Structure 1
Amino acid sequence: MASKFHRSILVTGGTANLGYQCTINLARRYPDYQIVIASRSDPDSSAESINRLLSQKNVKFLQLDLSSLAQVRSFAVEWEANQFPPIYSLVFNAALQFPGDVQYTDAGFEKTFAISHIGHALLFSLLRPHLADTARVVIVSSGTHDPAQKSGLPDAYYSSAEEIAHPKGDALKNNGRQRYATAKLTNVLYTYALHRRFEAINKKTGKHWTIAAFDPGLMPGTGLARDATGFERFLWLKVLPKIMPLLRLLFSPNVHTAEYSGQMLARLVTGSDEEIGSGKYYEENRQIKSSDASYDKDKQEDLWKWTVKTLAKNDSEMSLFDLKDLL
């Protein structure tokens, strides 16, 4: 049966905060698109809430746990079963921070990296055949990936994808926030690696696939600190949201509400090619330079090759995930 929607958009982590606000803007802008929000759970019935707010029926929730490769694969099967229209945009927003000791997924990957990068990379690889001929991928990174921004987090450090996924030796002692900053660096590395491949695919096939990375800024009050200590959560949820003007003055102007950053994130999906450059990094509505390390092509290719080799189950998937069927 033909869908009543023309295209679809997927937003991971779209049930709250940044992703939720982004989804409101996208659903309002594209009432004739199927907007899917995906998260581990939706206790506040976010999809229904957005539909009521906009008096529309184009937002749907699907369960997705990015820390589980099996569940990511199940999600892709469910996507096909729903027969959603071709994908106009993938918004990879979901992320978690684990401030304490190293935590691992069931598959043995460091959990911050697994959620921010590995799960999203597998999701892209499985859903890529469903991309419309004109499509845009947007990956939410963070200014914490760039030591030059002096975010207050330990500096991101990319050794190799394998060492980030399976830390050993001194790396096991790294602060959880350092692992978060590094995971956000991998988001930018992956963006640039995928952009080069999109350029080649577009030239060969006539498709128009673009990709951009986004720094939403510091957003006190969001769910990022859910695994922090009780006192840290109190500061993050109760104190800092009330002193945002002071934070902008003393810490950084890049401090925003989730509503504002959600609008800026949605802009990267809805903006024209003249407004949004592929393979670029954005803060608010401005294209800016990302970290020096993020432009290292050796690091980009190490991440790309490790990701494909790790996630592909067989030769057929290896070719699919490496985009060789289009290159």
Structure 2
Amino acid sequence: MSIRALVVGGTNGIGYAMACRLAGENPSSRVVISGRNKPDRIPNPNIDFRALDASSMRQIKRYTDEFKSSHQDQQLDFLIMTQGIFTMAGRTETAEGIDNKMALHYYGKQLLIRELLPVLKNNARVIIVLDGKIGAPAKLDWKDLDLKQGYSLPSAAYHCISMNDAMVQFHATQQKQNGNTQRHFIHAFPGVVASNLMAGLPWYLRAPSQALMRMVAVSTDTCAEHMLRGTSEVSEIAEKDGRFWGHIDQKGREVPGKAIWTEEQLKTISDHTWGVIDDALKCTS
């Protein structure tokens, strides 16, 4: 089957492997990969590159405006977001006042979803690759959601993971209220994957981390297969239960026992999210 897909973070690692897998299934498919730098090698002629700094809300807005304008008649079957960074640095604000890690792992992903909804097919799959396993409402500091007061690496991770959990449910709920679309929103945990993510570590941690990776990590292609197959299978299971969101683990299996967020919790997180993003879009520095 011919598909249309956009993979943000698709220039290397898991995203690149997912893009190549989708493009390789049918030569008539079209896959756009986006990231800061064009890959040295693009193995399929049906893969196109479009540059994007996914840590900047203003750049994402310009990018999505251009994408919608040029893809009005080519709606997407997949919106996949794998962009991220592995760093030991503390809070590092972008020019828009958002922590760089949180901009990549959370806020930018949500802005991409919001802006690209008009070019998603009614049965499209939206996949966030971060960690669909450990998020929960109890892991949030509800009075400091963007962590301007109490930032730490663990708290940033928990906040990005948990708020992405909430927002897949938010988007699924919104579409149920607003129409008959049946898009599925999936939050995926890739597990330990042999990619270049550890390049962001200090030099003295890279060698032991790479040795550990060689022992326990799966290949990016294996991970991509698990993510795509799992998305398809879990979406089918979820739809039978009347929901259009789900979480998958590193094997592509549905994560059991995930919290169902309350309407008040979803409103608090969505209001916060759009507030931070819209403030960033107004930023002139």
Give the TM-score normalised by structure 1.
0.74
Q: Deviations over 1:170-200 (max 9, x none)?
A: x13x2x2442233122211111111212222
> Which structure would you say has the larger Rg?
1
Equivalent of 1:105, from 79, 87, 94? 94
> Is the aligned partner of 1:36 residue 2:8?
no
Q: Distance in 2 between matches of 1:209 and 1:145?
A: 23
Q: Amino acid of the residue matched to residue 200 of structure 2? A: D
Structure 2 residue 150 is the aligned partner of structure 1 residue 157: no
Q: What stretches of structure 1 of length at least 5 have no aligned partner? A: 52-56, 148-155, 245-254, 318-327
CA distance in 1, matches of 2:146, 2:96: 10
Once the two structures are overlaid, the 10-residue window that deviates more, 191-200 or 101-110, is 191-200
Q: Which position in structure 1 is the counterpart of 2:213?
A: 241
Query: Residues of 1 paired with 2:49 and 2:238: CA distance?
Result: 28
Identity %: 19
Question: What 5-or-longer segments of structure 2 have no aligned partner?
Answer: none
> Any idea what SS the aligned residue of 1:213 has?
strand
AA aligned to 2:223 is: S
- CA gap 1:108/1:312 in 2 versus in 1, 3 angstroms: closer
Measured after TM superposition, the shift of residue 266 of structure 1 is 2.0
2:57 maps to 69
Do the aligned residues in 2 keep the contact of 1:146 with 1:290 (CA within 8 Å)? no
| Structure 2 partner of 1:133 | 122
**Cα deviations by residue, 1:19-58 (Å, 9 ceiling, x for unpaired):** 111112211224322211111112423xx2x21xxxxx21
1:216: Cα distance to partner? Answer: 0.8
Q: Pick from 136, 145, 148 the counterpart of residue 167 of structure 1.
A: 148
Q: Identify the range of structure 1 (222-231 vs 131-140) with the bigger mean alpha-carbon deviation.
A: 222-231
1:67 Cα offset (Å): 0.9
Report the number of matched residues: 274
Letter in 1 for 2:163: T
Aligned partners of 2:258 and 2:100: how far apart in 1?
23
Distance 2:174 2:158 in 1: 25
What TM-score, normalized to structure 2? 0.84
2:190 matched to which residue of 1? 216
The answer as to 2:275 corresponding to 1:309 is yes
RMSD: 2.8
Confirm or deny: 8 A CA contact 1:189 1:295 kept in the other structure: yes
Q: Distance in 1 between matches of 2:158 and 2:197?
A: 13
Distance 1:38 1:127, change over 3 A: same
The letter for the 2-side match of 1:224 is L
